[in-house]
Amino acid sequence: MTAAEALPLAASVQALAHQRFVQLFVQQAQRSHLALIFINFVLAFLWSLDTGDVWPWAWWLAATAFGMFRHLSTERLVLLGNAEQSTQRIRQLMLGSGLVQTLPLLAFAALSLATQSVLTLVLVTLSTVSVVTTSGFQRVFMAFAAPMLWGLVAAWGVASWFDQSWPQVGICAMLGVYLWFLRVIGQHAHAVFLEACAWRFGEQQLNGELTRALANADTANRSKTRFLAAASHDLRQPIHSMSVLVAALKLRTLDGPTSEIVGHLNSVNQMLSRQLDALLDVSKLDAGVVQADMRLHRLDHLVQSLQSTVVPVAASKGLSLELHAQHPIWVRTDATLLARVISNLTDNALKFTPSSGKVRIGARLDGEWAVLEVKDTGIGISPEDQARVFDEFYQAHNDERDRAQGLGLGLSIVRRLCHLLGVQLQLRSALGAGTSVELRLPRQAAPSGAHVTEDSSASTLGGLSVLVVDDEPLVRESMRLLLQELGCTVCTADGVSSAAHEAQLHRLDLLLCDFRLRDGITGIDAIQAVRAIQPDLAAVLISGDTAPERIREAQRAGVPLLFKPVALGDLMAVMAQPGRPELVQARPGAQWAGSTDSFSND
């Protein structure tokens, strides 16, 4: 630290020292005031016994009155604001108090030896205690102690002159030495007090810096969330329109080349949708709207369920996939969320394991724990990257930022989901030696019985009367084309008033409404206006805005929320059960506000 930097720092510490001293002095003032009144009463009583006059009691009343004045003045110190001015005021009060305590020495020669000794003991004790009560501020405690100790020196000196007593001379000398000793003790006490204030100042500085850093991080996080939500919304609108139009094309009979083009277009659209869905997953988890449905499940069944989906992918890459599950293993978890964790980890293992490599997914028991492990013989992760692979947007082996490899959110979602489920997550890896990720869950006892319910709901979409509300013409028209291809009767509206008008003209089965309309109007407003005409109408919100606030708004309104771009399967699912949104919510792939079914691989 340079001299220029040290000066402001020392001034800050001194200012804090004055402030802290005033606080401590004010806290001690009342107790010291009451104790001093009692001590002075004893001195006045002894003095009066020796002299038999009223002066001792007059002094006691004067000392008590000054003590009251000092007490009231001390309480006003906090109103001054300036700690240095308060310290100066305390010094003046202490000087006055010291002079008042010295007045009995004027009658020193008339007192008995016993009373002289008591008076000496009291004044020396008060001087000693002042070193502590004044935190070693030399000018303050000396203003109080010096009049009393020098007065004692003078009183004993005069007594020794008249009595020609060497012990009294010795007492004078000892009192002078003791005053010097108190100054030295005061300097050390003040140095310790300043050091404590310096530590306190440093702690305040550090706390301030930490508070500012946390505030900046919170602001940056909110800005990131708003940016992602806004960017996701703006991108989802055209992708949603493209997805709907591609779905409408796929419903038609096409020739070979055209069908191939539509297939490639659909693949590109799905890749974009998956990347946006990954952003949505993070937003939903950060919003706290995802609630885990904790039930008893068999971990070995979750592993075995990967057979039909993962084995073909591994085979297409020339990888060997092994599934090992000790039977049976019961755990309490949310099967959908845990399956997403396993799926993301498996996807990463397949992605970063070269051809002819091996991926192993196994479940086993380890004491009171159920352990699921995803292990590969891939390229591995360096020690420096292992600390960051669970961070958002970080990809250890994607320097070229190949978007086909996702956005780097898959493991970030894994960490969030493991925290939500109470799953212990452990990563072990080395470059060139593969990677192993362990999930540990508390083992549960097997239930007495179990049953599985199947949702075999199905309905014909043809003939449904659907109202589409969206303020963007392209979205309305693309939805109209797709719904007509599905055999629906379609009405469209661009706002609340036109939606209410359509509800008056037609009997509707389902309302599909955009979340954000023009002029600050929301889809919730439109749904309320239409339901005022047709109260039992089933409604679904569709939005490209993935901000946590939008998700919470939909939850509070009790309206299912789908996110753009909406896949054809999800749209057909919601239309299959327009009056039973809870059944549609349970279907795989449906992206509902608060649902646990829409966590994408990345």
Q: CATH number for the domain including 482?
A: 3.40.50.2300
In contact, 390 and 349? CB cutoff 8 Å: no
- Residue 450 within a domain: no
Top pLDDT among 238 and 230 is at 238
Helix axes 548-557, 256-287, angle to 10 degrees: 80
Read off the pLDDT band of 224 (50, 70, 90).
Answer: low
54 and 15, same structural domain? yes
pLDDT of residue 367: 86
Beta-carbon contacts of 549 under 8 Å, excluding residues fewer than 6 positions away, are 287
Tokens at residue 384, please? 């420096």
Distance, CA of 460 to CA of 583 (rounded, Å): 16
In contact, 563 and 446? CB cutoff 8 Å: no
What is the domain-level CATH number for residue 316? Answer: 3.30.565.10
Distance, CA of 301 to CA of 306 (rounded, Å): 9
What's the farthest any 2 CA atoms get from each other in the chain?
Answer: 134
Top pLDDT among 353 and 568 is at 353
396 and 256, same structural domain? no
Q: In this structure, how many other beta carbons lie within 10 angstroms of the beta carbon of residue 452?
A: 4
367 and 479, same structural domain? no
Distance, CA of 188 to CA of 182 (rounded, Å): 10
Residue range(s) defining the domain that contains residue 414: 295-442
Read off the pLDDT band of 53 (50, 70, 90).
Answer: confident
| Over residues 218-231, mean pLDDT | 67
- Residue 583 within a domain: yes
pLDDT of residue 57: 92
116 and 157, same structural domain? yes
Top pLDDT among 528 and 248 is at 528
What value does the mean pLDDT of the chain take?
Answer: 76
pLDDT of residue 590: 33
Distance, CA of 61 to CA of 103 (rounded, Å): 13
Last residue of a domain, one of 397, 416, 442: 442
Q: Return the exposure string of 231-254: e unless at least 16 CB atoms fall within 10 Å of the residue's CB, then b.
A: ebbebbbbbbbbbbbbbbbeeeee
- Residue 232 within a domain: no
* DSSP per residue, 228-291: HHHHHHHHHHHHHHHHHHHHHHHTS---HHHHHHHHHHHHHHHHHHHHHHHHHHHHHHHHT---
pLDDT over 70, % of the chain: 74
401 and 343, same structural domain? yes
- Structural domain count of the chain: 3
Last residue of a domain, one of 149, 180, 211: 211
- Residue 453 within a domain: no
497 and 375, same structural domain? no
Last residue of a domain, one of 389, 416, 442: 442
198 and 321, same structural domain? no
pLDDT of residue 503: 92
- Reported as type and span, the H/E element at residue 438 is strand 435-442
Structure confidence by residue, pLDDT tens digits, 14-33: 776 777 777 777 777 666 77
- Residue 316 within a domain: yes
Structure confidence by residue, pLDDT tens digits, 142-193: 888 888 888 888 888 887 777 666 777 788 888 888 888 888 887 787 777 7
Q: Provide φ and ψ at 362, rounded to 5°.
A: -140, 150
- Reported as type and span, the H/E element at residue 364 is strand 358-366
pLDDT of residue 253: 76
89 and 134, same structural domain? yes
Three-state DSSP at 105 gives: helix
| Over residues 214-226, mean pLDDT | 74
With a cut of 60, say whether residue 373 has pLDDT above it. yes
- Residue 498 within a domain: yes
pTM for the full model? 0.41
- Residue 144 within a domain: yes
How much helix, strand and coil, in percent to the nearest 5, is found in the chain?
Answer: 65, 10, 25
Within a 13 Å sphere around the CA of 506, how many CA atoms are in the beta-carbon half? Answer: 19
Structure confidence by residue, pLDDT tens digits, 104-133: 988 888 888 888 888 989 888 888 887 877
Structure confidence by residue, pLDDT tens digits, 289-330: 567 778 888 888 888 777 666 777 788 888 888 888 767 888
299 and 286, same structural domain? no
Find tokens 């239409």 and name the residue: 530
390 and 277, same structural domain? no
pLDDT of residue 445: 84
509 and 387, same structural domain? no
495 and 410, same structural domain? no
With a cut of 60, say whether residue 577 has pLDDT above it. no
With a cut of 70, say whether residue 211 has pLDDT above it. yes
- Residue 137 within a domain: yes
